[in-house]
Amino acid sequence: MRSMGPVWRLLRRAKYAGIAAVLIAAALLPSTPSGPADAATAARTLPEQMRYLPAGQRQLITVQVTAWGRRDARLDLWSKRADGRWVNVGTTTARLGARGMVPGQYRKQDTYTTPSGRYTIGQAFGRVSSTGYKVPYRRITSRSYWCLDNNSRYYNRWVEQYPMKVCRASESERLISYPTYRRALVIGYNLKQVRYKGGGIFLHDNGRGYTAGCVSVSPAWMDKISLWLNSSAHPTIVLGTRDSIIRQ
DSSP letters spanning 31-62: P----HHHHHHHHS-HHHHSS---TT--EEEE
Q: Give the residue among 138, 129, 125 at the shortest CA–CA distance from 202.
A: 125
pLDDT tens over the chain, length 248 residues: 333 444 334 334 444 344 334 333 333 434 444 454 454 555 799 999 999 998 899 999 999 999 999 999 999 999 999 999 999 999 999 999 999 999 999 999 999 999 999 999 989 999 999 999 999 999 999 999 999 999 999 999 999 987 778 899 899 999 999 999 999 999 999 999 999 999 999 999 999 999 999 999 999 999 999 999 999 999 999 999 999 999 98
Residue 123 CB: number of other CB atoms within 10 A?
A: 17
- What is the reported pLDDT for 42? 56
Quote the pLDDT of residue 6: 44
Residue 136, SS3?
A: coil
Which of 161, 187, 192 lies closest to 175 in space, CA to CA? 161
Question: 57-76 in b/e burial notation, b at 16+ Cβ within 10 A?
Answer: bbbbbbbbbeeeeebebebb
Amino acid at 44: R
- Specify the pTM: 0.83
Tell me the H-state helices in the chain: 5-12, 17-28, 36-43, 46-49, 219-228, 242-247
What is the rounded end-to-end Cα distance, in angstroms, of the chain? 51
Q: How far apart are CA 77 and CA 148, in angstroms?
A: 29
